Every structure is written in structure tokens, then in C-alpha cells.
Structure 1
Amino acid sequence: MLQVSYIRDNREQVLERLAVKNFKQTELVDKVISLDDQRRQTQNRLDNISAEANSAAKQIGELMRNGKKEEAEGIKAKTGAWKEEIKQLGEQLSQLEQELQQKLVLLPNLPHSSVPKGLTPEDNEVVLEHGETPALPANALPHWELAAKYNLIDFELGVKITGAGFPVYKGKGAKLQRALINFFLAEAEKAGYDERALPLLVNEASGFGTGQLPDKEGQMYYVGLDNLYLIPTAEVPITNLYRDVILKGEELPVMNCGYTPCFRREAGSYGAHVRGLNRLHQFDKVEIVQVVHPDKSYETLEEMSKHVQGLLQKLGLPYRVLRLCGGDMGFASALTYDMETWSAAQQRWLEVSSVSNFETFQSNRLKLRFRNAEGKTQLAHTLNGSALALPRIVATLLENNQTENGIKIPEVLVPYTGFDMIS
């Protein structure tokens, strides 16, 4: 959530940066400023009258002690009107604060100055490409056919149990899943991340804190009886560990990671590009999250990007890094890098990770602060990244490593799988 003081003091800059995200609701920004002006005026009026009432109460006490009852009664007559006005002003203030909050949460985060303008994924900026795309024979199979051929994943069984987008992993397919999770967690630990085992359901306050609510309410699975949401990513519970927390400056950076299944409704997804593992309603992911000093957040973003790239390099997967344009960015992000791997059988790039800096957007909602060198509380910056999401990693591993004799397992995974070939 944007800070009202910043919006009020930097109106033109705010409108300019929001336009990069194709958010051009000038009237909403002006409404926020107007409501804040009314709130400040009401607060000042309330403070002044309360001060007068408190001063009068002390004066009445002194007059009564000095035997000036008649004079005291005269002042008492005024206090009744003050009390009524204080009550009315308090109600007005509460209503204005509520309305201001409702408007504020509709504003997305401001994009960083390096974010390119654009409307669609085609407008994203390619930062770098790494590795050579494998040349597969003409009869190479897509991963969903390889999964069936080697009895690794049963998509139809998942439909029977739950529905489309909930695959069942079998045999070496299940072991490959577990191997990747353990590999990603081990690499995160080497990089200094502290692992967390997390709830898969979160309350509304947690969804609001990281910006999923109210923006992505329709994409989350909702458990109505208990008013809880299945997590779309481990970012939500990990970051909310620090909701309403004031950290010591020396505790920064906070580095956590966690493996969870993730649940997304993916409403409106259909077609060839969502076939097989390309888009699921339930999938596994290892997430990395950092809480850092504001001066360090963009340096940290680059480090997190390099960590994810290191995983892809160790798996031997060709990849590219994209800087997302304004129109393709998330609601809460200030800058996002997407990492995509090349699917040799499908002949297209598949997103496998997003690494984002949210600056103070999440921490303002979470009231996540730290004490700076002067001992004053200050909003921290939060970042998160997929390290990595499994479905499309599995898809590209199966497709890119297929041979006449089977599917070769990357060397770094063999200690985790216990086998070097699926045949």
C-alpha cells in the first residue's frame, strides 16, 4: 500500500509512475488526497477541542477547590457541547479513515524507474540469455507424452480425484519432484536462507498484508466456513511472519525460504499453452523471501536473481531473464524479473520464476518496521522469488533431456533421486 504522505507530496510523480503500469485513474489519486486533507482537518479540530475540554476540566477542578462553585458551573455548561462535538468528530474521523483505506488499497505499487513501458508480455525487456537451446530429433515428444510413456505423471487420474490441473505424480516422477524440492532447499540453505515449514491456509489479514487481497481474490481458493484462503505461494505465510513486528536494525537482512504446495484457480486459462504441466491449479514451489534495509533492496534483488539463475545453470537448462514491463507486472511489485527456460519440444519459453522487489508496499500493509541507526522506526523493504517453481522445470527437464534410451537426469539431482536415467 502506498503511503498517503508520499502521494500528497508527489502527486505528479505518482501519476506519471502509475501510468507506466497503465493505471491512469487520476480521480482516484485526487480522491485519496482529498480524503486525507479532510482527515487531517478533522483530526486537528478534534485535537483542539479535546485540548480545550481537558484545560476546562482542570480549571473546573481548581475553581471548585477554591470555592468558586458558580464560576465552575458556568464552565461546566460549555463542556457538554464540547463532549457532543468530540463524539461527532470522532465518528467523522473513523469514517474518513475507513474510506481513505478503501481507496488506498485500490492503488498499485509504483514501478521502479527502470521498468519499461508496455501493455503485454511481448513488451517485456530481455535482460540476458544463457545457454544453448538443445537440438532434438524431429520425433521428440512434449512432456505430457513423455510422462505417459515413462509412467511419471497421470493427468487423468488427477481429474478423477479432483479435477483438471491436479496431476498425480508416480514412481520416478514423484521421486523427481521430491529431489528437486530437496535440491532447491539445500541450495537456499547454502545461500544463507533459513527454512520455514508453513501453514497452507492463511487468514484475510495475511492475504491483505502481502497484496493478494483484494487484488487477486478471484484467483485464490476460499474456505468459506472458516474464512481462510489456500496459499497461492509461500510468500504469503513467510512474509506475514513479520506482520506487526519491529526488527532491530542489526537483524537485517532477514532471509527465509520454504517449500509448499501452491494453489491457484487460474480462472480463464485454456488452450494448448496450458496443456500438461504448463499451468496447474496445484503445484510445488520453493520460495525465497528477504526483509532488508531500503538502501539494500535493489542490490538484494540482483543477488536473488543470480541465485535463481545459478539453480538453472546447475540443472543445465537454457534460460533468459526478462525485466517485466508496466502492463505485465504484479499489483504489488516495484520491479520484477522473470526467468524463463526453453522448452525444446514445445519450441517456446516457459516462465519458471519471478523475483520481485516490493519496496515498502507490503511492509506498509504489514506494519513491518525496523529501528534505524537513529533509533527511529522505519518501514523495511520486502522481496521474494520462486527458487524454483517445479511444474515447468519438470517439463523442460523431461523434454530437453530426452534421448533414444530414456531421459537423462542432471548430475546435480542424482544424489537426490538415486537414479541417473528414466527409462
Structure 2
Amino acid sequence: MADPGLAGQNLEIVGPWAGDEQEAFERVLAVFEERTGVTVSYSGAGDDLQTLLQTRIQGGDEPDVALIPQAGLIEHFADEGALVPLTDDVVDALDENMAGAWTEFGSVGETPYGVYLKVAHKSLVWYNDGLFAEIGAVPPRNWNEFVELSADLADTGISPLSVAGADGWVLTDWFENVYLLTAGPRMYDRLSRHRIPWTDPSVEVALETLAEVWGEDRLMLGGSDGALQTDFPTSVLDVYSDDPDAAMVMGADFIGGVVTAGTNATVGDDARVFPFPPMAGDEGSVVVAGDAAVAMNDGTATMELLRFLATAEAAGEWAAIGGFVSPNRHLTADDYADPVTGQIAEQIVLAGDGVRFDLSDQQPAVFGATVGDGMWQTLQDFLGDPSDVEGTMERLEEEAAHAHGR
């Protein structure tokens, strides 16, 4: 039954989703509309989201709610005064349904702005079960076993890894996982906020660890030159085509969607996952990313929508459709459309406050999310020459300092 206090109101949401994601989200919104009598319209802006929002803010034509895919953009728009802090009842819903880290990710300073709905697990390695079976391989339990497994696969003539070096964001995911597991969550937090320089010894350790794989051409399909010409979708197809060229690809849970849409492989059967291999002293942390709903006005209907998006009811609706992972602790693996996605979501929930947001997404865009610049380009250069640890650190620090205005 509709809420008589809200019935007849209209809300507009702008976000990055289109296609299947938009269709699934609109089914979630339909539940809210039925509960409240509010009419909600959604439009997807894709990669032009930041520009579109900036233009509409400047013109005084903000949507009621925006879906923000980068934590750094929440801070950007909050600093511009374009966002409205969450009300107490929305924060209470967050506290009830999610680990406190998710409220922190959506906050600027001590002020909460974002409700994380759809998230990504970025600490995964996907593997071709058939190729593993050919040599009797099993998922590695730690980094050393991962390197040894890669060498064993190469010895048998199977390329161990397809690395999407043409997409700099994939390389940042590699670095972030290695840094988190070698330096630990506290140092990860300090580096993400540029409270330590990129010339810190902890960065050197991470780059040298990465070089154990990136510095061995035989461990990557096509070597470093081939990796630098491989984009993300191709890296997945390399592992799961009918005639696969590689056994593993490192990447987030959304690889499952690429497998389903672009290959004959079956997620959970041919396509399986194991956690990014832990290292000595690892505290079970997980790198995550996600899309947060933020309010651009303080209307009652706006805040009620954000409160609804924090609930298990909203998350469960999309989980049953598929192509979705939630940080909501009240969902179980059985609530998801397939067992692999349920397993992935469960890992995020079990990590609790051990989750850490994608480091590059926390940076100013010029450093963390720009083609041909910043982290993306520098890590591509490092993939091409993994012996240049010192030069890579110096370039990262120079670019980070400039981006952070220091």
C-alpha cells in the first residue's frame, strides 16, 4: 500500500547504468514505487556522468538522486556544495544492513553522503577449470603458490595469465591488491590519502612483488608486449573461448557477465574463481568498488528512496535477477541468482570492515582515472619495464603530488 505522505511525488535519478543494469535497477525502483506511490524516473549517462552532473549543477537543474561510481567524485561534489548529507534514518538503515566501512566510503570527513547499493569484489582470480584439470592444478592458497602454479602451467605449454594491459584500470587493480596484501590496510589507507609518498618503501615492496609475475614474459599471454595490446574483454575471452589461450584472468566479479554474454562457458562450471592470493600477514582484506546513491536535495521522498536502497528488500530484488553484488549483511549466498555470485558476495560481507575501496577511484581523476596519464599510464610503463621500480615510484609520486595540489 502506498505511503499517503509521499504518493504522487516524482523523483529523478541519474546514474551510469544502461542495458541490463538499468532494467534490473528499474525493477528495484518499481518495488519502491509500489510501497510509496512515488514515481521514479531513471536515465543512464554512461561515461559522461560527471560532465552531465556538473553541467546540470551549474544550471541549477540537479536530479534528486545521482549514482556515483567513484568515491573521489562524492568528495568533489560535496566540496562544491551539491550534495545533501544523509538523514539519521538513512544512516540508521546503513548501520543495520552494512559494515561501517561502507558508510565511511560514502562520507566526506565525518559527514555521510552515500548509500552503496551495487558493489564490485576486485580481489578475485578467474580460472578455466578445464585447463586446470589438464595438469591436475588446484587454486593456490597464497602468493608463492600462485607464482609456482603459473610457472607449472607455462612449463606445460599453457599460458598462465591473460593480462589486460591496454586498460590501465586493470593494472591499478593488480597493484591495489598486491599493495593491500603486502603493506596492510593501514598503510593502504595512508597511501590512498597521499599521507605517505609513492616513494615509500612499502610501494617498492609491492612493485617488486608485481614484477615476480609481470617481469616473466612466459607467465603472461604474449608477454608484456602482448599484454599491453590486450583490452579487458579480450583478456576474458582469452581464458573462456572455445579454444582458450590462457588459464587465468585477474578481475572483479563482473567478469562473470562477460563470460555469460561472450562465450559458451558456464559460470560456476567452466568459469570459477579463487581469492586474489594472500601473502604473509594478510588480514583477509578485500579490494572493492561500487556505485553510491547520493542526494541532491533534502526532500522527504529523496531520503526515503535512499533509505530503501540500503535495505535487504532492495538488494534482494536485484540479487535474484543476477549481475549484482551487495554489501548487505542480511543477504545470504542463496539469495543470489547463481552460486558463484553468492560466494563472491559472501566474501565481501565476511570481510566486514576489512574491505578497502579501490585506491585509484579515491584519487583525483587526473591521477587515478585518466587514459594516458597518472596511475594508468605509469603502471602500463611499468608492465613494459618491470625492472624500473625506482623510476616508477618517482613518477607516481610526482603525479600524485600534482593531482593533490602539493
TM over 0.5, yes or no?
no
More helix by share: 2
Bigger RCO (CA 8 Å, 6+ sep): 2
More strand by share: 1
TM-score for both structures, normalised by structure 1: 0.25
Larger C-alpha radius of gyration, 1 or 2? 1
TM-score for both structures, normalised by structure 2: 0.25
